[in-house]
Each structure stands twice: as structure tokens, then as C-alpha cells.
Amino acid sequence: MRSILVTGGAGFIGSHTCLELLKNGYYLIVIDSYINSSPKIVQRLNSLFSGSRQSFKEQFKLIKGDIRDKILLESIFKDAINNKMPIEAVIHFAGLKSVEESVFNPSLYWEVNVGGSITLLRIMEQYNCRNIVFSSSATIYNCNCKSPLSEECEIKPINTYGQTKAAVENLLFSLYKNKRMDWRIINLRYFNPVGAHSSGMIGEDPRGEINNLFPYLNRVASGAIKELRIFGNNWPTLDGTGVRDYIHIMDLANAHYLALKYLLKKKNSGFLSLNIGTGKGTSVLELIKTYEEVNSCKIPFIFVDRRPGDVAISFAKNNLATSTLGWKPKRDLSDICRDGWKWEKLNPNGYT
Ligand code: NAD
Ligand code: WQD
């Protein structure tokens, strides 16, 4: 069994990816501080895992801890060697992701997202583990670039969160350049990950104020929030509302599995940045319409002013990811709406 360290594996994208990797036979060591997640994820993953109970325990270990804790990280790498399961690669999800919070508390974002990554990368070097898949974001692209956005677009983030993601990508590039043939790195630049596993047993459980559209939509559908506020109806789009590239979380999880496989198989895979999106743009009104149709519900909404920092249209050119990894998003907007609502219905209070 190949041994993989997953940082932030209890979170939204991490937990769905863990399930995909478990099903594909990897041994996972997860480190998560639970700053934005819950240890209850372990029971959920256990029950979704189709192998025997014993084999889940043999394949999955979750350690509560912070990626900034050098001593803890060292002990994880050391223990893995002592157990004859040295860590071969890291999937690095751990980090803070609120654009708004990053603007109000930039030093925290630099400390966790960049400082935490530096600590992790130094320990990886020390233990000769030089394969990493990094969670990057489409938010690093120059917002004036025209969609579809390719990986060649200028990198010019406008908020602190995006700047920390671009900084980690830069750091990873320096590592690759200095130790050619040694580091194998894939940056996955996600567009808008949404939805949930089709069982509705794992999903997105945002803490505090909800900022993103999809979890907000779920709360309006459940009646917990009265109405959706749509940020602007005068964008230069077909119906005046913002257009984004919504990708089903299980398609995103599958992209991680394929990226990892690619990294571990290809001797000289080097340094790659791949857009992970469907390549299709959907407006806020289109998303609402599909959600209502699929789930036979009504989403009350009002139009309010544009949200500062928003762009009209953002969707991916995803050819590089599809041709390199042999990846293809299999689920559509209806799947996203159905699975996302199922998660909300079954877990109105998230994992608590
Ligand atoms: P999430 O908050 O659900 O998951 C992140 C996990 O990391 C959480 O479980 C959290 O507890 C953990 N964590 C945070 N700081 C930590 C630390 N210092 N040490 C250990 N664990 C820590 O977020 P997500 O949506 O699953 O995102 C995962 C990654 O993907 C993040 O790096 C995020 O920036 C990136 N990303 C997310 C999106 C998105 O829209 N969700 C888009 C692009 C990129
Ligand atoms: C989608 C559309 C809004 C909420 C953000 C981050 C980005 C990435 C993904 C991490 C836009 C509109 C939203 C609402 C609305 N995360 N909207 N009412 O802004 O594309 O990207 O999440 O890397 O960095 O910036 O996603 O879901 O917030 O917005 O009308 O209550 O929905 O204006 O058009 P966004 P979102």
C-alpha cells in the first residue's frame, strides 16, 4: 500500500478526496487542526468505505494537529518510516480560505497558508519526500483575463487569500528549479467546488458566516435563511448575474486521485499547474433554476449591489488537465444540486 499524507483531510475537499483515495487502496495519514472541520468525519468515512471495518482502520489514520507544528510533522514522517510505510507523497489541503477574512487578517493568512506550507515542505525535504499535490485556486488569475481561463493567464491575485496561494505556487516552483528531477509538483487550480457525495453523508460544513453561493442556496432551500441575495443583476452576462464554473466535489476528488497517480508513476513529471473546472460557465440564475427543478423547491431571492472584488465571468479552459491526467468531469449541474441538497437535508446542522 502506498502511504500518503493528507493535510487538511477532514475538510470539505479533503474528506471527499480521502474517500476516493481509500477506495483506490491508498494508506492515508491525515493531519487536521479541525479549525474548519470536525473529527466526526472519521465515522462518516468509515461507514462509506466499502471495505471491512478492519481494513478502514488499516488504511486511515487521522491526527489532530497543526501543519505549523514542526515537531508533530517530524514525528509523523518518522513514525511512518518506523512502521515501514514511509510517506511517498503529500496532498496539501490545509489552509484558510475566506477571501473576506484574509483581507481583514492578512498576517494570519500568510502565517497559516504560506508559513504552514514552508514548515511542511522543509520537513518533506528532510525526510526525502518530494511529491506534492497542492490545493491552488483560480482566484490567482488576473481578474481582467477573459474566460475560458487557461493556465497561461497572468497570475495577479487581488486579495490576500489569492496572494498566499500564488506565493506557495512560487515557492514550489523554486524548489523544483533548484532540485531538478527531484521535486514532483502538481498545483491544482480549482474553480468552484460544490455539491456533496451522493450518499449525502459527507459534504460542505461551513463554520461562521456563509460567503459562498452554494451553501447559501442550501440554507435558503431548508428555510434556515429567508432569501438569497444575488450580488448584481447588471453584469455583462446573458441574464445579468455572475457566471462561474461549478464543479462537483466528487469530480474534483477524482482529479486528485489521478494527479497523485500521475505524480507517483511519471519519473519526470516535474512541475505542473492544472485548472480543475468543467469548462462550462453557469450564471447564478441558471444555478437557482436547476436547483429548483431538481429538488422541487422554491428559492426566494432578491437582487442587491455587486459584491466588491467579484468578476462577471470565470470559467476554466480545462484541456491540460483532461489530456494530462485522463480526467473528465462526469457529473453535471443537476447532480450537483441533487447531491448538495441531500447533504443539507440529512445534516441541517452539519457534522455537529
Ligand atoms: P476546508 O476549510 O473545508 O478544509 C481545510 C482543512 O484544513 C480544514 O479541515 C481545516 O480544519 C484544516 N486546517 C486549516 N488550517 C490548518 C492548519 N494550520 N493545520 C492543520 N489543518 C488546518 O476548505 P476546503 O474547501 O476543503 O479547501 C481545501 C483547500 O483547497 C484549501 O487550501 C483551500 O484554500 C483550497 N481551495 C478551496 C476552494 C473552495 O472553493 N472550497 C477553491 C480553491 C482552493
Ligand atoms: C459565486 C457567484 C457571486 C453568494 C470564491 C472565492 C474563490 C474560491 C471559490 C477558494 C458570484 C454570487 C454569491 C451570494 C451571490 N475559493 N453570489 N450571492 O466568488 O466565484 O469564488 O469561492 O479558493 O477564491 O473567491 O464563489 O460562491 O462566493 O460566488 O449572488 O450570497 O455567486 O457574486 O457571482 P466565487 P461564490
| pLDDT at position 55 | 85
Contacts of residue 52, defined as CB under 8 A and 6 or more positions apart, other chains included, come to none
Q: Which one of the ligands is nearest to 206 CA? A: 1
Residue 349 lies in a domain: no
**Residue ranges around ligand 1 (CB below 6 Å):** 8, 10-14, 31-37, 66-68, 93-97, 112, 116, 135, 137, 190, 193
| pLDDT at position 268 | 72
Domain count along the chain: 1
- Other Cβ atoms less than 10 A from the Cβ of 1: the count is 10
Residue 163 lies in a domain: yes
Residue 287 lies in a domain: no
**Ligand 1: which residue has its CA nearest to atom 14?**
95
pTM above 0.85, yes or no: yes
Nearest to 187 by CA among 92, 281, 116: 92
- Catalytic, out of 161, 176, 246, 291: 161
**Residue ranges around ligand 2 (CB below 6 Å):** 97, 99, 137, 139, 192, 211-213, 216, 229-231, 242, 244, 284, 307, 310
What is the position in ligand 1's atom list of the atom closest to the CA of 206?
3
Domain of residue 106 covers 3-195+246-277
**Ligand 1: which residue has its CA nearest to atom 13?**
94
Report the CATH number at residue 61.
3.40.50.720
How far away, in angstroms, is 31 Cα from ligand 2 center?
Answer: 27
What is the position in ligand 2's atom list of the atom closest to the CA of 241?
34
N-to-C CA span, the chain: 33
Distance CA 247, CA 279 (A): 9
Residue 123 lies in a domain: yes
Q: Which of 278, 284, 304 to mutate to test the pocket of ligand 2 (most atoms within 8 A of CB)?
A: 284
What is the position in ligand 1's atom list of the atom closest to the CA of 97?
34
Q: Are strands 192-194 and 246-248 parallel, antiparallel or unpaired?
A: parallel
Q: Which of 36, 99, 204, 289 to mutate to test the pocket of ligand 2 (most atoms within 8 A of CB)?
A: 99
Q: Which cell numbers hold the place of 164?
A: 498566499
Residue 125 lies in a domain: yes
Nearest to 184 by CA among 129, 140, 138: 129
| pLDDT at position 52 | 59
| pLDDT at position 181 | 60
What is the position in ligand 1's atom list of the atom closest to the CA of 192?
40
27 is an active site residue: no
Buried b / exposed e along 131-155 (16+ C-beta atoms within 10 A): bbbbbbbbbbbebebebbbebebeb
**Ligand 1: which residue has its CA nearest to atom 1?**
11
| pLDDT at position 208 | 85
Residue 321 lies in a domain: no
Note the residue count of the chain: 352
**Ligand 1: which residue has its CA nearest to atom 15?**
95
Residue 294 lies in a domain: no
SS (H, E, C) the chain: CCEEEEECCCCHHHHHHHHHHHHCCCEEEEEECCCCCCCCHHHHHHHHCCCCHHHHHHHEEEEECCCCCHHHHHHHHHHHHHCCCCEEEEEECCCCCCHHHHHHCHHHHHHHHHHHHHHHHHHHHHCCCCEEEEEEEHHHECCCCCCCECCCCCECCCCHHHHHHHHHHHHHHHHHHHCCCCCEEEEEEECEEECCCCCCCCCCCCCCCCCCHHHHHHHHHHCCCCCEEEECCCCCCCCCCCEECEEEHHHHHHHHHHHHHHHHHCCCCCEEEEEECCCCCEEHHHHHHHHHHHHCCCCCEEEECCCCCCCCECCECCHHHHHHHCCCCCCCHHHHHHHHHHHHHHCCCCCC
How far away, in angstroms, is 94 Cα from ligand 2 center?
Answer: 20
Q: How far from chain centre, in Å, is Cα 98?
A: 13
How far away, in angstroms, is 220 Cα from ligand 2 center?
Answer: 16
pLDDT in tens, the chain (352 residues): 899 999 999 999 999 999 999 999 999 999 999 999 999 999 999 999 976 556 898 899 999 999 999 999 999 999 999 999 999 999 999 999 999 999 999 999 999 999 999 999 999 999 999 999 999 999 999 999 999 999 999 999 999 999 999 999 999 999 999 866 689 999 999 999 999 999 999 999 998 889 899 999 999 999 999 999 999 999 999 999 999 999 999 999 999 999 999 999 977 779 999 999 999 999 999 999 999 999 999 999 999 999 999 999 999 999 999 999 999 999 999 999 999 999 999 999 999 8
Residue 235 lies in a domain: no
